[in-house]
Structure 1
Amino acid sequence: MINRTVKSLGLALTLLAASVSLYAKNNVVVIATGGTIAGAGASSTNSATYTAAKVPVDALINAVPQIKDLANVSGVQALQIASESITDKELLSLARQVNDLVKKPSVNGIVITHGSDTLEETAFFLNLVIHTDKPIVLVGSMRPSTALSADGPLNLYSAVALASSDEAKNKGVLVLMNDSIFAARDVTKGINIHTNAFVSQWGALGTVVEKKPYWFRNTLKRHTTSSEFNIEHIKGDQLPVVQIVYGSDSMIPDAYVAYAKAGTKAIVNAGTGNGSVASYIVPTLKQLHDEQGIQIIRSSRVAQGFVLRNAEQPDDKYGWVAAHDLNPQKARLLAALALTKTTDANEIQRMFWQY
């Protein structure tokens, strides 16, 4: 009789534990960095004229009390800045804070509120240097919190839903904007005045509808746990200097030369079309590469498509690198990280194929 009672009690406890586990909420940390989602305008009709980075993290969380039904949410104020003012110093600092948090067993997911202007760069950088399978979701807004039909609250709600979902594990760093889930690698800001501002030429990974993520594709490029870059191996608060020159007609070589004098280690040429370089600029770039060892990365100012190696320019002959489908701003980040490991153009090209 006693044995039967003990067994029954044990079964009841097992079922209770399973029930508690089934309904237990994950722990999500919201890391605030500023941006429009934390912005405030003079009136509710100011959706384009406002001051960014005014609302602190606790106020952001409290403004959407429904997120506490999704997860146990806590907040960290990492930065309070408009995202166009973020430098490598802030990127490295943020990455180290994220890295410290994802190591904690008590943290199941991360949401980073961020200005939309450079959200794609921060997302891509974290995608390359943070080694975790836990969801990391960047979110922003196109309208300040004080505007009519502000998009920030629902974006934040959906981001927390995504970061608390076990289905979001091991998918790399994600961006949640306007109900769409994007891969950090290929998302970009495509328009500056509408709430559907973020796009990917390869399409969204999925969507969040009424707090549930729905998935339709995955990213095959290396990221997070499979990356050869690691924030723990990067010292100091600066990356190798990489700068971008925007291609057009009637260019002059002075910008390239000035960047070389300023100590840049690589130049991303945001060329026309297929990463084209004007014939009268080619001698300058060859000289900078051959005589000063500056890496030349051919990207494109065109929003879609990709740069073909040895098309338009003989990259093999010149020792230049094709950025593939990475836009100039993401090419800058990958080139900077690559230069922490090598100055071999062939190795850098491999990285551009794989990431």
Structure 2
Amino acid sequence: MKTTLNGTRKPCIALIATGGTIAGVGPKPDAGAAPSAAYQSAVTPADELVSAVPGLSGMAQLKTEQLLQIDSADFTDERLLLLARRVAALCDQDDIDGVVVTHGTDTLEESAYFLHLTVPSTKPVVLTGAMRPGTALAPDGPLNLLHAVAVAAHPSSSGRGVLVVMNEDIHSARDVTKSHTMRVNAFTSPYGPLGSVVEGVPRWYRVVARPHTTASEFGIGQIDHLPLVGIVTSHGQMRSESFDAWTSLGAKAIVYAGFGGGTVPLALQPALRELGAQGVCVVRASRVGSGPVIRNASFDDDACDSVVVDDQNPPRARLLTALALAKSYTAAELQQVLWRY
């Protein structure tokens, strides 16, 4: 272990790179192309990301590895399981004090939530990324990475669940979502961030009340696969064939991202009842993106054997449902899980 001049040990942080915009490369700003919009994702390797950020070496001892080099839109459930197993294995090492994952922003919130549910460790796990590639006129990746390492290295970050650090804000993986296509402050939480990074040090203002990490029943050591769970989003002129497509692929559950509070159009209600009769679990969520869905409100969940989310958005509901089905939970047990987490 490396030590500082006063003899105290530097925290040892494992940095896992998976690609994304933070590793993106595009035309130079003076080449006549848009400096941020036109670029190739997942190009710059992990060691170059680190070397481009002055101050990282003085903050922590870093152990970098390139687990994946992909656009985060290409994350599959198999790659998600790979990431969770690697993060959990690193957290189990006595010489590792925390983990930072660089990740593309398109699915960063999903990976963060999955780790929040499956990595049974109190050690800080922090995800970060960038809205602009490193070749942009004002890239945000270097500062985001610096802050992510600062948070992961700080002892106050332990036991708070998986965190997302972007634009000086520290979000809980349970809440955070990408809410803008381009701005550097794209990541927001409906209840506000947990804290902020101020002068390189985390300041905390709230805690997460729902189970996570060591209190979760979905430790990655118990999960060997994720059953197929689909999402169908509501819109005008919906057709039931959208559900049929998922069942033909063998989906064990379908998250219905309904209107408003999970409203089901009259024309689709027989189709959802038929899914329940076939043993395909219907999970009613909302396309709004935040706020609870109330059981048996505007739809007879009891008759359909369907379940409702609490305030999980559809992508989170998909992951939580898949984890519950991986443990062979019944619809009634899944309902309790959705309310509890």
Question: TM-score per shorter chain, which class?
Answer: over 0.9
Mapped partners of 2:261, 2:202: distance in 1? 36
Q: In structure 2, what is the Cα distance between the partners aligned to 1:286 and 1:329?
A: 22
Aligned positions, number: 334
Deviations 1:182-217 (A, max 9, x none): 000110000011000001111100000221100000
Establish whether residue 157 from structure 1 lines up as the match of residue 143 from structure 2.
no
Structure 2 unaligned blocks of 5 or more? none
Q: Aligned partners of 2:187, 2:292: CA distance in 1, in Å?
A: 19
Q: Look up the match of 1:35.
A: 20
- Local SS of the residue matching 1:110: strand
In the TM superposition, residue 21 of structure 1 has moved relative to its aligned partner by: 8.2
- Give the whole-Å Cα distance in 2 for the aligned partners of 1:73 and 1:65: 13
User: Which residue pairs with 2:268 in the alignment?
Assistant: 281
* Residue equivalent to 1:196: 185
Distance 1:21 1:27, change over 3 A: farther
TM-score, normalised to structure 2, is 0.96
| Partner residue, 1:354 | 340
Amino acid at match of 1:297: V
CA deviation profile, 1:151-183 (whole Å, cap 9, x unmatched): 000000000000001100000000000000000
Give the counterpart letter for 1:144 in structure 2. P
Moved over 2 A (4+): 19-24
- Choose which of 107, 113, 116 in structure 2 pairs with 1:124: 113
Q: Could you tell me how far apart the structure 2 residues matched to 1:22 and 1:282 are?
A: 67
Alignment of 1:1-355 (within 5 A): 23-44=8-29, 45-235=34-224, 238-290=225-277, 292-355=278-341
In 1: Cα distance, 2:310 partner to 2:85 partner: 28
How much does 1:24 deviate?
A: 2.2
TM-score, normalised to structure 1, is 0.92
In structure 2, what is the Cα distance between the partners aligned to 1:153 and 1:343? 43
Contact 2:112 2:164 in 1 (8 A): yes
Is the 1:174–1:183 Cα contact (8 Å) retained in structure 2?
Answer: yes
Q: How far apart are 1:314 and its partner, in Å? A: 2.1
Q: Which amino acid aligns with 1:159?
A: A
**Distance across 1 between alignment mates of 2:324 and 2:71:** 27
Query: Separation in 1 of the partners of 2:5 and 2:209?
Result: 35
Aligned-residue sequence identity (percent) comes to: 47
CA distance in 1 between counterparts of 2:7 and 2:223 reads 39
